[in-house]
Structure 1
């Protein structure tokens, strides 16, 4: 959450937590005269990256957009940012729209005024890449190994992408007509424009040697044994396509359905209108928000046809002509949640959009029983206020009430369908995984995404990246490498120096001590990014003035406009706004060339590296012959990049 206006004054204090008195700067310099410590430039991972399930180098591509890190040669900064972003995640346009952005929740800028709009800048990068036709570098030569990927959703596509970049061919098996998984069949088009999604998937397929077998279900159309015989490794990315029913009496009524069923019917075109006027959805997460938003857009139609039950429309048994659909009116749509609105797992702006669109949200309530008529159909849902005993919600006696409903939708979680694949089932409808995403006891089998544990689309993308690395080692008959503590993409100074023609000289082996004048190492630089995430306490936040977010234009309909409104809600930032928003990044854990340390050093010991030798992460250095250890450079560093550690 962003800092409230009442607490805003605390973000501009000049002292660190625990300090209460202003120190005289002259006295500090005097004391520094006998300090033995000198500055070291320490690279750490920012919390946005540490919070990103896909493992993106978020600070890196924000640095590129803002103009701090520049591409070599004549490549545009837009293409350079695209390449940095897609090093981890090949879906910047899609994820920039729909990811609930744990990176923004972790952003240290929340301690100043409000997070950096990371999603909006990522959408700009992704949309620009598609508009400009940016492509990936040609894939390397094939290794001769072939990998079967079961499931063409975000995890499976990510695995195919990262495997091909490592030289391995793959074949994707999917039981749908198109690739995309939940991106295609679970999220409505007004949130994920299908032209953007298809373009990002086609860009992956354009790498070559990624074959498709669509409308093919492994375990039914093809046996697991046949797949094992044909391929050198198998990735299970089957996702969770079945919804959990409500755990209450009467939940097996025919007009009680799962949220994933409802959304699949809508996204495949089977569901165009609803012959019902009262819909209740139980949930509180992103899926439930999609359900109620779609229901408000579809509206209801008046019908006297007794065959037109709402579940029949969802299963595709009912067709309505356009004239009938044109007279539809708004359905009463209610979303219930165990948690208060501010604690619902759905993204906050999605909750606010749903309220504006006319959805009624009842929070702090729990379903108790589905009310049935004499034909066994649901006519309502009995609810009660709830309280938590530990992590378990309990109904409060005497608070029961009934919500009328013709259609009850459960969006309380999803499960896997491992029919025909029972050998992989861990007994709970999921597949077990070790830390390298190998299936224990099944050599050559790997598993990623929701079938391990339902989570975010971007989590599945991150799984695909790490699993591809594990598979690469497996196919080379190597043991998997120990994963770093902070397992994300990091800025690589040596890679940057190589890119700009500044690679350090080879080490001769003769010099054992001292690197300040040597050319085989980078002067007083230390990389702790694989082990440490920098917190806001290490930053000098007083450097950053109040700067409001540059927000995307959102065309969110209100309750009077929502029926039939299927236009995209989020418009991409302009180039100017994307750059301005990127400049709000505090570059936690990495120098952003503010010159504070150079300006405030009383001994002129801190100096700018000559331009012909400088690069991102190598902008300043220290002359130890002049340094008196006064600590001022570390105190005024906004990004926490300087540690007074030399000499410890």
Structure 2
């Protein structure tokens, strides 16, 4: 869990010893006893928990090391571009995701056990925005002659198109809506995702040679058989743009009961410029927060007619006069969970309250109250407690919330019209572990249509399915995916980049192979376990890190009196010096960050810096085993958990 906000406002310190532990060990005895272990330090690369928690699988530690300018870029590349290249190896939307990702990476950050997590999103936003300002482009791979049809131009489809073009495959995107972007465009308000930056990140992918056909629906406008004939593989990345209705009496068929997906789409398409006087939304996640925040910004206007009409009728559009004459509206969110357990991001909840939204937590819906005209007039609710995921009503707390529009934001589903043969019982598409559609050779699937989740989850699945498609197109057997399936730092690639590629290994030329320390054909004293192990905070020397407050992005959050028509971007970026400072807070878990502790504290001078001409990230220190006595002080004082005592076991 991330450090609670109230705890980060105090000067926290990490304690190596608990109360009552007041006797020093005899260090000299410890050193000489350990001499009998025959163990010496080995350098173990592990995955940091930020990366292990990132569904996109970004090399977060890697691009933070580049931003802090500890890992050096190639001689012909600026560090800002190098950070962009490392970041976008997994995620082609750093500007967008730096703004809206709920950041499970920050929840996983080991720095939470020192003071407060590293502001990974803030750094990613800077990387993405700088890339757009500098005009950095993506490069397509050498043409393979293979063609892939990608159905859906949302995060999963666009990210897969990007990865497939990097591999050299031709890609055609088929999108039902008039514009690409999926939920990034149609499901998230413009004050959270600036439309100019979204368009630029999409265009950067199209510029790789991706063909886009918008406004067409596969299965109705284009038969699936035509795609099977014309393309070597098909990727279904349809997304989930239908909302789940509320499972209470009175909901079904009531015109002013709408889904959160439909409500936000009407707003994001620019058609809805006013809503009801009293809106009630049922949810608790980020979508429900967006609904009530949008309602407060739009306001209401009786001249707009019934608030649900513009949601249901895709041809209806409010004019600017409707918006100009709007007055503030009431927006209420009900959540089964209390605020500290809601799925929405903490800062999103805080912002909504600042904007004058009402959030009733620990409340469950019971019934939609209908008027004589068949429209809803209110929502009957009661207090509840939670038994796991099941709400338990509290008797005697029933009341009615007045409403002229009720919005359900409790989940999403797929629209499989024309594709019924692919649909499972949940109206989604089944996938195997390689994201193939079972029983449909050449068909693959990724994103929300597998299981609705986060944008970052869809982007991560796009990487995996692209590998599967590439293997299929090359008639290769699918490789077993690693236990920790992310984009890892690769020391061999780094050595090649810096001109330090090991010499070819020829067995007959090597003679005695009982040691590698003098060989230029092996990476001595290094083991890559990042594909199987995540390094926890208990493996780090946390005492190395002093308290450092996180650099916080400022937010333009309007008050309840200012919120009407306030569509300015809410999240402000950090300045470059703040971004560098924030990256320096990273503890580089599982990878050496060149602090020199092991060199300084080794009593035998056995640990030494690698010669500068042969040094690079991951190869900063080495050990002279003729001097090492196995005391493991170097491992004790390693802040990052990179050193582990081994060999003699």
Show the 5 A alignment for 1:169-248: 169-208=170-209, 210-248=210-248
- For 1:367, the equivalent position in structure 2 comes to 365
- Between the aligned partners of 2:593 and 2:527, the Cα distance in structure 1 is 16
- For 1:70, the equivalent position in structure 2 comes to 72
Change (3 A) 1:215 1:6: closer
- Between the aligned partners of 1:523 and 1:174, the Cα distance in structure 2 is 51
- For 1:313, the equivalent position in structure 2 comes to 310
Change (3 A) 1:126 1:7: closer
Alpha-carbon deviation of 1:56?
0.5
- Between the aligned partners of 2:19 and 2:625, the Cα distance in structure 1 is 30
Conserved in 2, the CA contact under 8 Å of 1:234 and 1:445? yes
- Between the aligned partners of 2:427 and 2:258, the Cα distance in structure 1 is 19
- For 2:378, the equivalent position in structure 1 comes to 380
Conserved in 2, the CA contact under 8 Å of 1:289 and 1:346? yes
Query: Quick check: 1:286 aligned with 2:286?
Result: yes
Query: Quick check: 1:140 aligned with 2:137?
Result: no
- For 1:331, the equivalent position in structure 2 comes to 329
3-state SS of the aligned residue for 2:308?
helix
Bigger Cα displacement from structure 2, 15-24 vs 161-170: 15-24
List structure 1 runs of 4+ shifted beyond 6 angstroms. Answer: 6-10, 16-20
Q: 2:429 aligns with which of 412, 423, 431?
A: 431
Alpha-carbon deviation of 1:16?
9.4
TM-score, normalised by the number of residues in structure 1: 0.96
Conserved in 1, the CA contact under 8 Å of 2:12 and 2:547? no
- Between the aligned partners of 1:18 and 1:64, the Cα distance in structure 2 is 42
- Between the aligned partners of 1:482 and 1:620, the Cα distance in structure 2 is 33
- For 2:410, the equivalent position in structure 1 comes to 412
- For 1:598, the equivalent position in structure 2 comes to 599
Equivalent pairs counted in the alignment come to 642
- For 1:160, the equivalent position in structure 2 comes to 161
Query: Quick check: 1:13 aligned with 2:15?
Result: yes
- For 2:51, the equivalent position in structure 1 comes to 49
- Between the aligned partners of 1:414 and 1:521, the Cα distance in structure 2 is 52
Alpha-carbon deviation of 1:329?
2.1
Conserved in 1, the CA contact under 8 Å of 2:587 and 2:640? yes
- Between the aligned partners of 1:624 and 1:19, the Cα distance in structure 2 is 34
CA displacement 1:569-589 (0-9 Å, x = unmatched): 112211101100000000000
3-state SS of the aligned residue for 1:402?
strand
- Between the aligned partners of 1:176 and 1:215, the Cα distance in structure 2 is 5
Change (3 A) 1:23 1:67: same
Change (3 A) 1:321 1:92: closer
Conserved in 1, the CA contact under 8 Å of 2:635 and 2:645? yes
Change (3 A) 1:439 1:407: same
3-state SS of the aligned residue for 1:602?
coil
- Between the aligned partners of 2:312 and 2:11, the Cα distance in structure 1 is 56
Alpha-carbon deviation of 1:170?
1.1
TM-score, normalised by the number of residues in structure 2: 0.96
- Between the aligned partners of 2:293 and 2:111, the Cα distance in structure 1 is 31
- Between the aligned partners of 1:434 and 1:9, the Cα distance in structure 2 is 48
- For 2:631, the equivalent position in structure 1 comes to 630
Q: 1:114 aligns with which of 108, 113, 116?
A: 116
Change (3 A) 1:488 1:16: farther
Change (3 A) 1:324 1:156: closer
Show the 5 A alignment for 1:435-514: 435-509=433-507, 510=510, 511-514=512-515
CA displacement 1:336-384 (0-9 Å, x = unmatched): 1010101111111111111111110001111000000111110000001
Bigger Cα displacement from structure 2, 551-560 vs 276-285: 551-560
- Between the aligned partners of 1:633 and 1:486, the Cα distance in structure 2 is 27
CA displacement 1:294-314 (0-9 Å, x = unmatched): 00100112x3x6x81110133
- Between the aligned partners of 2:35 and 2:249, the Cα distance in structure 1 is 77
3-state SS of the aligned residue for 2:523?
coil
Alpha-carbon deviation of 1:604?
0.6
Alpha-carbon deviation of 1:38?
0.6
Change (3 A) 1:17 1:539: farther
Conserved in 1, the CA contact under 8 Å of 2:366 and 2:379? yes
- Between the aligned partners of 1:5 and 1:377, the Cα distance in structure 2 is 47
3-state SS of the aligned residue for 1:506?
coil
Change (3 A) 1:507 1:18: farther
- Between the aligned partners of 1:62 and 1:419, the Cα distance in structure 2 is 44
Change (3 A) 1:234 1:324: closer
Alpha-carbon deviation of 1:32?
3.0
Conserved in 2, the CA contact under 8 Å of 1:244 and 1:410? yes
- For 2:617, the equivalent position in structure 1 comes to 616
- Between the aligned partners of 2:134 and 2:525, the Cα distance in structure 1 is 40
3-state SS of the aligned residue for 2:168?
coil
CA displacement 1:602-630 (0-9 Å, x = unmatched): 11110000100100000001111111111
Conserved in 1, the CA contact under 8 Å of 2:40 and 2:629? yes
- For 1:537, the equivalent position in structure 2 comes to 538
- For 2:257, the equivalent position in structure 1 comes to 256
- Between the aligned partners of 1:619 and 1:499, the Cα distance in structure 2 is 16
Conserved in 1, the CA contact under 8 Å of 2:12 and 2:115? no
Conserved in 2, the CA contact under 8 Å of 1:356 and 1:558? yes
Conserved in 2, the CA contact under 8 Å of 1:332 and 1:359? yes
CA displacement 1:421-462 (0-9 Å, x = unmatched): 011111111110011000011111000000111001111111
Change (3 A) 1:557 1:8: closer
Conserved in 1, the CA contact under 8 Å of 2:442 and 2:472? yes
- Between the aligned partners of 2:40 and 2:613, the Cα distance in structure 1 is 25
Conserved in 1, the CA contact under 8 Å of 2:298 and 2:323? no
- For 1:515, the equivalent position in structure 2 comes to 516
CA displacement 1:144-186 (0-9 Å, x = unmatched): 1111100000100011110111111011100111111011111
**Structure 2 unmatched runs, 5+:** none
